[in-house]
Each structure stands twice: as structure tokens, then as C-alpha cells.
Amino acid sequence: MTKIKTAVIGAAGYTGGELLRILVHHSDCELVCVHSNSQKGKKVSDVHPDLIGDCKLVFTDEVPTEGIDAVFLGLPHGETKGFLESHPFPAETVIIDLSTDFRDESNGFVYGLPEVNAAKIKTAKRIANPGCFATGIQLALAPAIAKGWVKDSVHISGITGSTGAGKKLAETSHFSYRTGNMSVYKLFTHQHLKEIKQTFRQINGDFNSDLLFVPYRGNFSRGIWVTAYFPFEGTEAEAVEAYKTFYQNAAFTHVSDQDIDMKQAVNTNKCILHLQKEGGQLVIYSAIDNLVKGASGQAVQNFNLAFGLEEKSGLNLKSIAF
């Protein structure tokens, strides 16, 4: 089989590096262009030292628009539209954008949450990859939204590792700030809420509940833990059965009967869920890796779907666990 000629734009950051780590071992992918304005001329393995022996490419600031089958865009939020205007790729080129720019499904982009939109992704040429918190929250609540169980406000808390803030230096991602520390940011106003509500309204046109989301900065480097709960009149067994049915064909989302922890998901493309009913509330726990299922791994999952490949190709990753 002819390999898919692939470019990664904005590949010097955490999500770009994670994309490269997955794609260099993807049997159907041929990396032909690794782009970075800030690192041009440097070996990829000098910027991402863990790729020594795996990637011999050099960063470039030049991007050919012809002869490329797939493009991953890892540019900062707000820069993708301008990049695509100055780099008009052919209509048949599959473009997967990891920024927020097209998550409203504008400009012909399909929202790339495979557990909900797999059929649309399979025929899409423009895919907007979901945000990390958005992924963990949507997968925690989508089955309940589909069932119409959520009638009032949903309480959600989520804690993310420092890599979620990106590679650029900032006080709140600095080791001295993060270690032994926790803090709240963007209380009830997180930017991912817009795309979450968009998906929930697509799943259930009657959805109109408030999402009361409290995001926390965690004192670890990678991973996301979400806890969501709402009043529920059914039984725990009923809820578990509904969730398992909803995700029965999902390649990476799993409902566990046992208590879960975040390390089960870190370094994998899995979302692992656990449900519990207590005090009249249905509580859902959701664990993902913010850089894999929350970003680069999900982007490759969308790549696989768009090219008709096995959905797990390149993504058979095991958690570190301990």
C-alpha cells in the first residue's frame, strides 16, 4: 500500500511532538514535512530528544501545498485561518486542525469527536480536533445527554497537567508554581464549553442545561481527570448499561466496573469512565491523557477514519501505570 504523505505544521510544541512520536511508528504514514518557524534548520531529534533514532527529518519553515495527502495543524489558537489562506491546499488534502479555530464546524470543517461523529469524519477532508477538557467532559456526559437524563445544571470539575498549558513559559506552568500546588482558572467560563454545548445540542436538540465547570491546574505534567454529576432517578445498573451500550463500538472509550485512576489512561488514546450513584446523583469519572486522547492521539484517530484505516492504527499504546 502506498503510504500517506503527511505534514505536521507547528511541530515544535508538546502536541506537535506527541504527533511525531505517534506518526513515526504509524505503518501507513510517511512524514515528508515537519514545520516550525522557531526551530527551522534544527534536527527534529534535537528539539524532541526522545525521537533520536526514530526521526532524521529537519524542521523547515517552508510548506509545499502539492503532493501532500494529510496535514496536521498544531498552530496556536487564532493562527490557523491565516495559515490556510496563505497556504491553499487542494480540496482533496485531508486537514486536521488541533486549534480552536474551526471547532464551530465553520469553513467546511467537521468536529472530530469519533464517538459521536465517526460517520461524518470518514468522509471529511477538513476536521477540527476537539479540545482536551472538551473530550473528557463530552465522553463523560454524552450518553446521559442522549438519554435526556440531564434536565438541570451539571456540576463538573476537572484537573489537568501542566502540558495542557503548552510549551511556552508561563508563571502558572512553571515547576516552582505547580509542584505541591493547585489552583482554579476560568471558573464557569472555560473556552471548551462552547464546543461541548454544540455537541450536546447535536446529540439532543432539547439540551439547554448549564455546565458549571471548575477547571483546576494540577501538580503533574500530563493527564486529565473529570468528575461530573447531576440528579438521576434511575439505578446505577441502568446507567452503566446505557453507557456500555452507547460506547459498545467505540475503539478507545471504555466503561469500567471498578474504580479507576488517571494513570490507566496516561500515555494512551483511551478515555476510561466509571459511574457511581450516590445521594440521588449520578457521578461520572472520566480519565484521559490531555496530549493523546485530548489532542494528538485523537487527531491520528481522525486521520485513520478519514483514510479508511483501522481506527487503532499507530495508537496501540499502553499506559505506564506506575
33 annotated active-site? no
Distance CA 145, CA 207 (A): 7
Q: At what angle do helices 297-306 and 14-23 cross, to 10 degrees?
A: 50
| Residue 69 burial by Cβ neighbours in a 10 Å radius (0-12, 13-18, 19+) | buried
Backbone angles phi, psi at 72, to 5 degrees: -100, 130
User: Which has the closest alpha carbon to 255: 132, 95, 83, 140?
Assistant: 140
Please count the CA atoms within 13 angstroms of the CA of 241 that sit on its side-chain side. Answer: 5
The DSSP 8-state label assigned to residue 87 in this structure reads S
Active-site residue, selected from the candidate residues 29, 33, 55, 132: 132
Residues in the chain: 322
Edge-to-edge order in the sheet of strand 4-9: 29-34, 4-9, 70-73, 94-97, 126-128, 110-111
Q: What does the block give as the cell for 182?
A: 493547585
The DSSP 8-state label assigned to residue 286 in this structure reads E
Distance of alpha carbon 298 from the chain centroid: 5
Is residue 210 within 8 A of residue 154, CB to CB? The reply is: yes
Decide: helix, strand or coil at residue 8.
Answer: strand
How many angstroms separate the first and last alpha carbons of the chain? Answer: 38
Distance CA 236, CA 70 (A): 43
Distance CA 322, CA 316 (A): 18
Distance CA 261, CA 247 (A): 19
Is residue 294 within 8 A of residue 301, CB to CB? The reply is: no
> Which are the catalytic amino acids?
132
